[in-house]
Amino acid sequence: MALNDKQEKFAQAYILHRNATEAAKTAGYAASSAYNQGYRNLQNGEIKERIEELENTLETSVDVITEIEKQLLIKTNMSLSKSGSIIGIPEIPDTGSDFSNWTAPSQYRIKLQEGNKFTQSMDENTTLVVSDLGYSSSVLEVLNEDEMLVRKPYLKDNIVNEFTPVSYSMDFESVEDATVNTGSNVIASYAEIRLENLKTFTLILECPFFDTILCSFKIFF
């Protein structure tokens, strides 16, 4: 004898919840009778066979769960200072533009003439400082090891200008030169879980929040 809709939903929901009362509620039985109905359904031979059939299609096995303890490695970025000689080239806005009323985003190209190469660690938190010109700007983007874009153009009386080779300096946290502390006393605990025969099971149940809409759940076993 085939199961009716509620019995089929109960069997599927039991696979999900592993609780007869919750499965009965999910299948659409009244909350007040869910405990008793769930118990009766589990005594029903055909429903039990259906649950076993569903379980047999989900032959995922947990091979082993092993607790692993490992020393926690702490990575520390290195604070670096770089300096050298650079030139400044206006881009947006271009040379001679009045910056006093400029409201759009701006960018200014910096080219390295000599000294330490630029790195990707020089991000928006890094400030380029040209003390001789009284000029500074945050980094917008490092294009390559010899060129970068900064946000603020060099100005003279609010007019965008280029500048010829001049000394610069930057302080930043270097990701490339980060060190790993292997002497930490902190131990982290991990679980190694190996799963085999993974299969999917599509469960379609009526959502308690909607009268006519069906919810589809895909459960991985």
Are 170 and 91 in a shared domain? yes
Q: What is the pLDDT of residue 168?
A: 93
Q: How far is CA 33 from the centre of its chain?
A: 44
Residue with tokens 């970068």: 148
Q: Quick check: is 186 in a domain?
A: no
CB atoms within 10 A of CB 198: 11
Q: How many domains does the chain have?
A: 2
Cα–Cα distance measured from residue 79 to residue 129, given in angstroms and rounded to the nearest whole number: 16
Contact assessment for residue 151 and residue 137, using Cβ atoms and an 8 Å cutoff: yes
Bridge partners of 191? 67
108: burial class by Cβ within 10 Å (0-12, 13-18, 19+)? buried
Q: What is the pLDDT of residue 68?
A: 58
Q: What is the pLDDT of residue 58?
A: 67
Q: What is the pLDDT of residue 146?
A: 93
Residues in the chain: 221
**Which CATH number fits the domain that encloses residue 205?**
1.10.10.1400
Residue with tokens 């007040």: 32
Contact assessment for residue 152 and residue 89, using Cβ atoms and an 8 Å cutoff: no
CA torsion angle 79 84 88 92 (round to 10) = -20
Q: Quick check: is 31 in a domain?
A: yes
Structural domain that includes position 152:
74-181
Residue ranges of the chain whose pLDDT lies below 50: 205, 207-221
Q: What is the pLDDT of residue 210?
A: 43
Q: What is the pLDDT of residue 94?
A: 92
